[in-house]
Amino acid sequence: MSPVPVANGPSDTALAGGKEPNGPPARRPAIVAVDDEPAVLAAVARDLRRGFGERFRVLRAPSGPEALEVLGELRRRGEQVAMLIADQRMPGMAGTQYLVEARKIVPDAKRVLLTAYADTEAAIAAINEVALDYYLLKPWDPPEEQLFPVVEDLLTTWESGTALESGGVRVVGHRFSKESHDLRDFLVRNRVPARWLDVERDGEARELLRVAGVDAERLPVALLEDGTVLERPSILELAERLGVAGTPAQDHYDLVVVGGGPAGLAAAVYGASEGLKTVMVEREAPGGQAGQSSRIENYLGFPAGLSGSDLARRATDQARRLGAELLTVQEAVGLRAEGSARLVQLSGGGVLSASCVIVASGVSYRQLYTPGFSELTGAGIYYGAAMTEARACSEQHVVVIGAANSAGQAAVYFGGYASKVTMLVRGPSLEKSMSHYLIEQVAARGNIEVRTSSSAIAAEGEDGRLRRLRIKGPDGAEEILEADACFVFIGASPRTDWLEGVLARDERGFILAGRDAQANGWPLQREPYVLESTVPGVFVAGDVRARSIKRVASAVGEGSMAVSLIHEYLVEA
C-alpha cells in the first residue's frame, strides 16, 4: 500500500508511522478522501485541512482498494472515521462502489461523492444505493461557500450522534422492561449523551451495580456524571437532575406554542425571529411524532433525506439561537381566556400567560387493544418507531403492524438490522396508504415480507417479554408467528383531551379552525383567521387541526403561517 498522508497542521505524516510528530498516536477522528487524480486529491486535502484540521485528521488514498485498507487499519486500531469523500470516476473501483464497501467497515461515517456535472444522475442514484449524505460538483471554488458549509453541517451531525453514544449518563436496566425503555427513549429523543447497559448481557452493568451498591431489583438505575445514583427514577426526576426540564423566564409572553413537533418548532422559529417573546412547551421531546421517524425522504431541500431526530435537532437549535424558550417534559393540561390574556396551565402546577397561543400538540399513535398487547407494551411491543431498540433487534425477527408511511419507514429502517421484518397490513395492498417511493424501498429489501389482509389477534410472552403473535390471514386461518419485537402504527389520535369544553373539536377530537370554527360557536363579528380556533387569539397548526394534511412539510407551513396571522391579530387587538 502506498503511504497515506495524514493531515497534521501545515504538513502531512504517514499513516504507517502511527504517530504525530513529538506526540502519542493521534486520536482525532479521521476524514478519508480518495481520488485517482493527484492534483484533485491534494486540493481536497488542502481545503479540508484548512477548514477542519484542528478537529479532524485528513487521510488520503489514490484508489478505492487502498482507501479500504486504510479504513480497515483504522477500525483495527479502534479509531473513529467521521467522513468519507470519494471521487465518482476512478478506474477499477468507482466512487459509489467504494462507498458501498466502506459502509460495511465504518457504517456511521458520513458519505460524500465528488462528481462532475455529467455525473449528476449517478450521484442522485447513489443517494439510495449507498445512503449518500451529499454530493459535491467539481470544482468547489470558493471552498468557503461551496465546501465548508456542507462539510461543517455533516460533521456537526456526526459529532452529535457520536456524543450521544459515548456520553456520561449510564443507564442500567433490563431490555424488556417498560421503565428501562421509557428512560432510554427519553434520553435519546432529548439528545442527552448516554450509554445503555443491559444487565443481562453486559458484565460492565453488573459490575457498576456492585460498585454502586444497588440491588438488581431496583432497576432501572441512572448513574450521572457527578456520581449521583438514581434508582428507578421517573422521567421528570431524571430530566430535572440533568437540567433538561426548563422553567419559564418571564411572567408574560407574546406567544405560547403548545407542542414541539414540526408545526410547533416552526412556530417557535418564526415567532422568535419576528420579535415575539416566544415559549414552546413540549411534553416529551422536540420533534414530536415526526422526531421518531427513521428517515424523511420527501422533505424539500434534503435530497438525501434526513432522520426525524436530525430535523428536530436542527429546528431546536435554530429556535433557541433566535431567542425562543423551550420547556420540555412539561405538559399543557388546561387553557382559559381572561380578558386579553390566554393562560396555559402546566402539569407541574405553573401557568403561562400570553397574548396568543398556538396549539400544535399533535397526535399519539393509536393503541391496539388486542389480548396481550397492553401487558407487553415496552417489553417487545412498541408504538411508533422506537429507534432505541433498533440495534438490539440485530439478527432478530421484527414485526411491523400498519400500512402508512410511518410503518414503511420503520420497516425499511429495521430491515437494516433485523434478519427478517414482517409487515402486517390489514388492507389488500400498500398503494392507497403509502408513498410510492417507500413501496419501492420495501420491495427492494429482500428481508421484508409484506402480508396483506392480515392482522394480529393476540400477543403472547414468556419471562415478561414478547415471544410470539397470533395472526389471522386473508382466508381467516390463524397461525403463530414467532417474534422478538413488534412496532405498531395503526393511525393516530389527537392530543386534545385537555381542551375539552374550551375549543370546538370534530367528532374525532381534532380542533376546528377558520370557517369550521365560525360555524361552531365563534363569538366575534369578524371572521376568524384561517388557523384560528373558536377562542380568539388561540390558533392551531399541524396534525391536530381538523382537515390538516398529515405531512411534515405542511405542518411546518402551518406553524409559520400561524405566526403571520398572529401579527395581524395583535395589530387589531
The pLDDT of residue 166 is 64
Q: Is the pLDDT of residue 19 over 80?
A: no
Lowest-confidence region among 98-107, 243-252, 515-524: 243-252
Q: Is the pLDDT of residue 560 over 70?
A: yes
Give the residue-averaged pLDDT of 63-83: 93
Q: From residue 543, how far is each of 391, 522, 548, 557 by CA, in Å?
A: 30, 22, 6, 12
pLDDT averaged over every residue in the chain: 90
Q: Is the pLDDT of residue 9 over 50?
A: no
Give the residue-averaged pLDDT of 110-119: 85
User: Is the peptide bond between 286 and the residue preceding it cis, with omega within 30 degrees of 0?
Assistant: no
Give the residue-averaged pLDDT of 17-46: 76
The pLDDT of residue 202 is 86
- Terminus-to-terminus CA distance in the chain, angstroms? 74
Per the listing, cell 457498576 goes with 208
Pairwise pLDDT comparison (423 vs 289), residue with the higher score:
423
In contact, 183 and 169? CB cutoff 8 Å: no
Domains and CATH numbers, the chain: 5-164 (3.40.50.2300), 167-242 (3.40.30.10), 252-364+493-572 (3.50.50.60), 373-490 (3.50.50.60)
Pairwise pLDDT comparison (359 vs 416), residue with the higher score:
359
Q: How far, in Å, CA of 132 to CA of 86, rounded? A: 11
Residues 6+ apart with CB under 8 A from 545: 510, 511, 513, 531, 558
Pairwise pLDDT comparison (424 vs 3), residue with the higher score:
424
Q: Is the pLDDT of residue 442 over 50?
A: yes
For the chain, percent of residues with pLDDT exceeding 90:
67
Position 12 confidence tier, pLDDT thresholds 50, 70, 90: very low
Tens digits of residue pLDDT in 174-216: 988 999 999 998 988 888 888 889 998 888 889 889 888 998 8
Q: Is the pLDDT of residue 367 over 50?
A: yes
The pLDDT of residue 254 is 98
Q: Is the pLDDT of residue 3 over 60?
A: no
The pLDDT of residue 467 is 96
Tens digits of residue pLDDT in 532-558: 999 999 999 999 999 999 899 999 999
Give the residue-averaged pLDDT of 482-502: 95
Q: Which residue in 496, 178, 491 sits closest to 186, CA to CA?
A: 178
Q: How many CA atoms lie within 13 A of 30 on its CB side?
A: 27
Give the residue-averaged pLDDT of 114-125: 78
Q: How far, in Å, CA of 518 to CA of 531, rounded? A: 11
Give the residue-averaged pLDDT of 140-166: 86
Give the residue-averaged pLDDT of 240-250: 86
The pLDDT of residue 167 is 61
The pLDDT of residue 118 is 67
Q: At what angle do helices 95-105 and 64-77 cross, to 10 degrees?
A: 10
Tens digits of residue pLDDT in 295-335: 888 889 888 888 888 899 999 999 999 999 999 888 999 99
The pLDDT of residue 231 is 95
The pLDDT of residue 545 is 98
Give the 3-state secondary structure of residue 439: helix
- Whether the pTM exceeds 0.85: the reply is no
Pairwise pLDDT comparison (547 vs 131), residue with the higher score:
547
